[in-house]
Amino acid sequence: MLVPKGYCTIARIEDYLLVDIIDDFEDRVNEWIARTEKFIEQETGRVFIADSVASNKTYDGVGGLNLFIDECVSIDSLTIDGTAVDTDDYFIYPANETPKTRIKLKDDAGLVFTKDEQNIIISAKWGYSVDCPADIGFAATVLVAGIINFSGDMSGEIKSEKIGDYSVAYKEQTSWQDFETAKRIIERYKLIVV
């Protein structure tokens, strides 16, 4: 069973739907939350809650002072050609926000990202942010609420749509508008790779 990362919670879903989810159903809802998080990550190409423990990634050296990296919230260590680089010898960018996506070696450090294959090792907490952005949390909540609606008995006129491996359903116009908003939020966060 997948474990939710925390993009949304059962309590937020209950608040959104104005219902209480029975205890026997919570495991199923947590599974839907985890699968919705995975869907959002696949759609956007981003992990919205960074790892709590640093892990290594390997990169090819490009020659020069700059190296573009996967999104992270902090860097624990940098190794070039098997030699650890002191934190005083590089900057991480963007300077005043997360996620960090570039390392620049200082001009006076006397170092370069040696052009070679898999010669750069970075230990970092990989991901977009420490806490899930509020709008992504809202999108996850709306999607899981739609899955719950589709799984339940809804009478009257409903709208439904397939999203990922699941179908979602909404009866009220405002809930359908929230679903459209959730789709736009996810679209805005798509990682563009050049």
The predicted pLDDT at position 158 comes to 61
Using alpha carbons, select from 180, 112, 123, 119 the residue that is nearest to residue 146. 180
The predicted pLDDT at position 122 comes to 98
User: What type of residue sits at position 78?
Assistant: L
| Cα–Cα distance, 11 to 6 (Å, whole number) | 11
Using alpha carbons, select from 132, 140, 144, 139 the residue that is nearest to residue 29. 144
pLDDT in tens, 46-92: 999 999 999 999 999 999 999 999 999 999 999 999 999 999 999 99
pLDDT in tens, 4-52: 999 999 999 999 999 999 999 999 999 999 999 999 999 999 999 999 9
Q: How confident is the model at residue 167 (pLDDT cuts 50, 70, 90)?
A: confident
Phi, psi values for residue 75, rounded to 5°: -115, 125
Contact 166, 35 (CB under 8 A): yes
User: What type of residue sits at position 183?
Assistant: K
% of the chain beyond a pLDDT of 70? 94
**pLDDT: is 91 or 150 the higher one?**
91
